[in-house]
A = this chain, B = another copy of it.
């Protein structure tokens, strides 16, 4: 009838001790005789006790200070979504009476110095936990080393730095993401097609994550043994007159049948390319407003959604699970590679990433 309303009190009476003693065993705070410990263990093995999470939090009125470090959301709608996810998670925890005080720190995604500067400040403020979306590789490792040494728990999202040794990584497998793009690009195409990989406004040497996508994309075609030609382009100076020339040089590729843009910046070039050559299939990332329009107006064929909002929200939830409920959390949490097309895009908009546990 009632599956798990076995309380500490019940365990205590079963073992013939008081609740205090059971409590001491559960949290192994010591100060328990071998005899009592043994009796309690025996009961525990039999009944699979699960503490009432609700009651567990009630008493704690400790304030946890968490700092989130992400690229400035004002500079990029993608990071705005991450920010919204953090906000939403914070709010949800508040509803549960969990005093998670989130502080936000931003950095310029093109300046590693700005990352390092913010990181240092965060470290010196001794937070209870840290949430980071790291874009730089070597520039950020010292920060994570410091956090590890000070035993400040931190979770990474969006970009995986294996060496960082984080509590958890939340994001996608970017190599597979590239392969998926390859597959979507290949559907129903002629065997002699050629494709362009485009990185918009990025310094590749700093952006491991984009390189991984590119490898995945190329891997897909290599493994199939087809002999498609694939070219890589790096676009910069978006405002300059040279920008259009760069686009034209892409279109110059013989038998060009598709363009794969490695970030959410796909909207910047989709319309132009599609107008100049309607047969070119365009694939990019993320459901930011501009790309939604791109899909609906036919400039973009596929979007692979990274769901930054839910990534961020899960990040803060995980931190709460770890700090407050002392739950074990998975070392990596890989999100599904969501394929968005003109026909299913609205179904993703109606359903924001913020579903949730009990509340919503």
Contacts and interface: CB of A to CB of B under 8 A. Distances in A.
Interface stretch (A37-45, A133-141, A157-165, A339-347): A339-347
Contacts of A320: 358
A343 B182 CA distance: 9
A188 B172 CA distance: 28
Contacts of A92: 357-358
A269 B320 CA distance: 47
Nearest to A179: B343
A29 interface: no
A197 to B, nearest CB: 17
B187 A2 contact: no
A99 interface: yes
Interface stretch (A46-54, A114-122, A204-212): A46-54
A55 interface: yes
A97 B52 contact: yes
Interface in A1-24: 1-5
A176 B95 CA distance: 35
Nearest to A310: B355
A58 B53 contact: no
A184 interface: yes
A74 interface: no
A314 interface: yes
Tier of interface size on chain A:
35 or more
Contacts of A337: 343-344, 347
A183 interface: yes
A232 interface: no
B101 A1 contact: yes
B327 A351 contact: no
A183 B343 contact: yes
A83 interface: no
Interface string A325-336: 101000001111
B358 A317 contact: yes
Contacts of A317: 357-358, 360
Given A187-B187, A336-B348, A359 B179 contact: no
A336 B307 CA distance: 13
A326 to B, nearest CB: 12
A63 interface: yes
A341 B96 contact: no
A173 interface: yes
